Amino acid sequence: MSFVSSLKKFFSPRRRIIGTTDLRRALKNNEFVFYYQPEWDLKTGEVKGVEALIRWESPNGIIPPAEFIPALEQTGLINEFTPFLFDQTLHDLRELYQAGFDHLFMSVNLSVVQLHDPLLLDIIRKSLDNYAIMPEKLECEITETKSMDKPELEFQTLQQLRDNHIKLSIDDFGSGHSSFNYLKDLNAHKLKIDKEFIQSLFDKPANETIMRTIIGLGHSLNLIVLAEGIETSAQEQWLRKNGCDYGQGFWFSRPLPLTMLISFLRAQEDQTNTSYQSEK
Ligand code: C2E
Ligand code: CA
Ligand code: CA
């Protein structure tokens, strides 16, 4: 990466400069928090799991991940962040179980730099043990990117995760950088279709054809197919009618802090019970 492009990454879109000291301080002061966005089964209307999305609650307000994850990656600090990622999200999954939602899975985003960490599997195993979580309940979302400079090591790490019964999701499928390598070789469990496809679904008929083809491709590889970024009822209905398995997006719920997520799930449950009773 050139000097200029690496410098650019350290400026947030609002021209905030994010340095190592800020990031270290944020980690130390517990300023990083996870919000959770439900993943829905489109056929049954049930929440199956949640995706953990990080936020930086800085003294100057909430900073979204796109503004600081690149800085964490480029400074290598992301590897100091990994133990916190698994400790916090699996702690929160245990809280969800204790609140009665013990069928849910937890999905976390991993960047390629984290796959280079020889300690990754040990870190994950330790957190799974600490909170008595079955590895099958954990999913790691990976995006295929141009910056994959050690593909063999990355595949080896992902294979280790699979061997330990941790699930893998192919994130942002169809976005600028993705190719078919992950689809061919990863032995993944789920394909997450990039939200751009959902948002442009009705722009022209060819987009619907492409979407049907991606859903079919995922199914022919025995993957669960999830559509990200569903914002309207029309998108949800089309996806359900065309066999897409799971959905996620503002139409169902925004990413929520843990306590709000629990209230949301309870309200959902009440609604389901009420509609069940009124049908009887
Ligand atoms: P992603 O993994 O593709 O996550 C989905 C993004 O879409 C999230 O943005 C989410 O808030 C947003 N989203 C969800 N539903 C909708 C919708 O209906 N419409 C629209 N327009 N957007 C929707 P967010 O939280 O800002 O995260 C951005 C990216 O940052 C994530 O994209 C992921 O790549 C990365 N990220 C987030 N948390 C982590 C983390 O803990 N570690 C790493 N390495 N990356 C993370
Ligand atoms: Ca993701
Ligand atoms: Ca995504």
Residue 13 has pLDDT above 90, yes or no: no
What percent of the chain shows pLDDT beyond 70?
91
Task: Tell which atom from ligand 1 comes closest to the C-alpha of 228.
Answer: 15
What percent of the chain shows pLDDT beyond 90?
77
More confident call, 15 vs 50? 50
Mean pLDDT of 227-256: 98
More confident call, 183 vs 108? 108
* Span 41-67, pLDDT tens digits: 999 999 999 999 999 999 889 999 999
CA Rg, the chain, in Å? 19
Task: Tell which atom from ligand 1 comes closest to the C-alpha of 65.
Answer: 30
Evaluate: CB of 170 within 6 angstroms of ligand 1: no
pTM to 2 decimals? 0.93
Task: Tell which atom from ligand 1 comes closest to the C-alpha of 110.
Answer: 44
Around ion ligand 3, residues with a beta carbon closer than 5 Å are: 171-172
The pLDDT score that the predictor gives to residue 14 is 54
> Best mutation site among 36, 37, 53, 235 for ligand 1, i.e. most ligand atoms within 8 A of its Cβ?
53
The pLDDT score that the predictor gives to residue 170 is 95
Mean of all residue pLDDT scores within the chain: 91
More confident call, 147 vs 24? 24
DSSP lists the bridge partners of residue 140 as: 108, 168
- How far apart CA 167 and CA 190 sit, in angstroms, is 8
Residue 9 banded pLDDT, cuts 50, 70, 90: very low
Residue 240 banded pLDDT, cuts 50, 70, 90: very high
Evaluate: CB of 11 within 6 angstroms of ligand 1: no
Of all protein residues, whose CA lies closest to atom 42 belonging to ligand 1? 109
Which amino acid is present at 62?
I
Angle at 192 between CA 205 and CA 170, to 5 degrees: 130
Of all protein residues, whose CA lies closest to atom 15 belonging to ligand 1? 249
195 Cα–ligand 1 center, Å: 10
